[in-house]
Amino acid sequence: MGNCIARLTERKNLWPWLLLAPLAIYMAVFFLVPLIDVAIMSVTEPRPTLANYQRVLTGSLYLRVFLNTFITAATVTFACLLVGYPLAYLMANSKPRTATLILLLVTMSFWTSFLVRTYAWMVLLGNNGPIVWLLQTLGVQQPPQLLFTRFSSTLAMVHILAPYMVMNIYSVMRKIDPVLIRSAESLGAKGLALFRHVYLPLTAPGIANGSVLVFVICLGFYVTPVLLGSPREQMVAGLIGNQIDEFLAFGMGSAMAMVLLVVTLAILTIYHRRFGLDKLWG
Amino acid sequence: MSHLKLSGISKSYGQFNALEAVDLDIAKGEFVTFLGPSGSGKTTTLMIIAGFESATSGQVEIENKSLFGLAPYQRNIGIVFQNYGLFPHKTAAQNVYFPLQMRGVKKAEGLRKAEEMLELVGLKGFGHRHPKELSGGQQQRVALARALVFEPSLLLLDEPLGALDKNLREQMQIEIKRIQRALGVTTIFVTHDQSEAMSMSDRIVVFEKGRIQQVATPLELYHRPQTRFVASFIGESNLIDVKITDAAKREARNDAIGAIQYAPSNRPPTGSEATLMIRPENIKLSRNPVEGRHNVRMKVETIINYGDNALVVGKVGEQMMRVRVLGADVVIIKEGEECCISWLHDSVYLIAK
């Protein structure tokens, strides 16, 4: 046996593959097998037909949930960009101490469990929470319902996902050669023109990376929209949870999960064709 | 009349004086090189002219107008940086169009001008390529075209050839000179490479430790360096410390070599300390003394053969001497032997202390 391995590794350089084997086996057993199981369930539960997919792709309820999921993911991505870009700029262009401080704040929020952060928003936005209290003190007679709305779930998701955006954009901004900015200035560019024609295009890869990451993660978000969102405006992950927890409809849940998986893979493929997936992690 | 005038430019960072009272006049159309080792102040001076650094004191004027308080984008100065600073997201033509775009030139006209300029730098038909699809030399040309297309009042080149290999560097030296002459643009070229400075410049400004050591044409700098630093930095030289023994007879004395006569000079008086410079190619190597020349015996230590010529290093007493001989002449001696070296009095140049 040992002899056999020795001969194999001699012939081709197989050591890297042998080193990867534990991880590969783990992924196969605990990820690939269950995933295949889900795929099989989607066409066999309760009976072996494609009926589940037919219902998912034609039922107006399901389509509305998918649409809602995309709109929410797009909104969250856009909001993360609006918050994250200036923050990343500030980090990339301030003195080392300030930059470290901002970095610390961003990563601290990142390190806190997102369940904890979700509950924190429940406290902040609740009917007896500080924000409602503040509005009442300022004289708003009937403070609007904040918790369990699209607003509250979107806000919390932006908070949770913004660090992904900030980090991706920051890593690109930091690598920008200052000579490019100096060149632009010497050639007559200033202020907004310099930003629009030089700085923004140079940071575009970071924007694309951050956006696709936030969008894809957001598509499958479960806890936050379930705990904070409006029950009438569910996202796909929540709906899948419902199917399985409440209706024990494993087939329907699986079919939805497969559709979500295919859509996500499609987005990543398009992104890969355009920008290269290998750049996604900086 | 001077086109660019620097008066009393100083720059200090805390206690450290990067530049001290730099004065310089550059005429219109002139090609001037700032030469010096790194940290000598040449790049700082360039950045002050460009507006990226501000002088602690002093004035920069172009055509008698002060540039004080003007941001880089208001100065109308073209710069080529060492690593070119081309925008990676724009094609060559878009890069060259950029300064025109910033000046409100319409796209069709701007791109046409950009193509014309690319043609002038020898890149006709390369306009649609992105910088990463171009070689180092081609990127260099694009950067040059971009810095020239808006007809700047001044062109600054910050060690632009540093990243290129030797052959390409020589080719680009010729190209840059050709383009500069064709457009007649006043140019400042920064380098630490003396041969680059010698081959390209109308005049060279030698910097050391934040001061201008000498401003002169390449030939003058080579033959009549004003300081010991210039003599050692430009070309090879034998520098011999002497005491002037008789200024009228142009006689000096070095402990190792003895009495030496030097070429006409009206500078130091009898009794003062000075340095004599003899270029290695002005020294002749022979077995026996040569009549009409100043002869001394030298013990040969090292011979470095370059094929067409050889460098012979040896000692006269304690004085190290370098002799440059033609390749064929070197066969007469071997390392470790004694031989005769000789020079004419006229090739001994005196530098005051």
User: Which fold does the domain B4-230 belong to in CATH?
Assistant: Rossmann fold (3.40.50)
Q: pLDDT-derived band of residue A4, with 50, 70 and 90 as boundaries?
A: low
d(CA A77, CA A212): 8
d(CA B336, CA B172): 43
Same domain, A113 and A206: yes
**Which of A152-156, A158-162, A182-186, A273-277 has the lowest average pLDDT?**
A273-277
3-state secondary structure of A253: helix
Q: Are B72 and A177 a contacting pair at CB < 8 A? A: no
> Which of B75, B79, B101 lies nearest to residue A183, judging by beta carbons?
B79
Token readout for A61 is 């309820």
CATH class of the domain defined by B236-351? mainly beta
Same domain, A214 and A253: yes
Averaged pLDDT of chain A: 89
Query: Running DSSP on this structure, what letter comes out for residue B327?
Result: G
d(CA B153, CA B187): 9
Averaged pLDDT of chain B: 91
The answer to whether the beta carbons of residues B185 and B208 sit under 8 Å apart is no
B270-306 pLDDT, tens digit each? 888 889 999 999 999 888 899 889 999 999 999 988 8
Same domain, A21 and A61: no
Same domain, A18 and A74: no
d(CA A278, CA A129): 44
CATH no. for residue A72?
1.10.3720.10
B218-270 pLDDT, tens digit each? 999 999 999 999 998 888 899 999 999 988 888 898 988 888 988 887 777 88
Contacting residues of B for A187, CB less than 8 Å apart:
73, 78, 98-99, 102, 146-147, 150
Contacting residues of A for B79, CB less than 8 Å apart:
182-183, 186
In this prediction, residues A48-69 reach a mean pLDDT of: 91
Between B143 and A275, name the one with better pLDDT: B143
In this complex, is the C-beta atom of A174 within 8 Å of any C-beta atom belonging to chain B?
no
A251: CB partners within 8 A, 6+ apart: A41, A42, A43, A44, A45, A46, A52
ipTM of the complex: 0.82
B324-352 pLDDT, tens digit each? 988 766 677 888 888 999 999 899 999 98
Same domain, A26 and A151: no
CA dihedral A204, A207, A209, A210 (to 10 degrees): 170
Same domain, A8 and A146: no
B68-125 pLDDT, tens digit each? 889 999 999 999 998 899 999 999 999 999 999 999 999 999 999 999 999 999 999 9
Same domain, A40 and A69: no
Token readout for A176 is 């920008």
| Cβ contacts from A onto B, under 8 A | 62
Same domain, A80 and A163: yes
**Which of A65-69, A231-235, B235-239 has the lowest average pLDDT?**
A231-235
Q: Are A188 and B150 a contacting pair at CB < 8 A? A: yes
Same domain, A110 and A157: yes
**Residue ranges of domains in chain B:** 4-230, 236-351
Domain encompassing residue A120: 53-281
Same domain, A264 and A138: yes
Tell me the percentage of chain A whose pLDDT exceeds 90. Answer: 63
Pick among A180, A187, A200, A207 to test the B interface (most B CBs inside 10 A): A187
Domain count, chain A: 2
In this complex, is the C-beta atom of B6 within 8 Å of any C-beta atom belonging to chain A?
no
The answer to whether the beta carbons of residues A156 and A125 sit under 8 Å apart is no
Q: Are B98 and A180 a contacting pair at CB < 8 A? A: no
Query: Running DSSP on this structure, what letter comes out for residue B31?
Result: E
Same domain, A32 and A58: no
Minimum CA–CA partner of B156 in chain A: A186
Q: pLDDT-derived band of residue A108, with 50, 70 and 90 as boundaries?
A: confident
Same domain, A246 and A153: yes
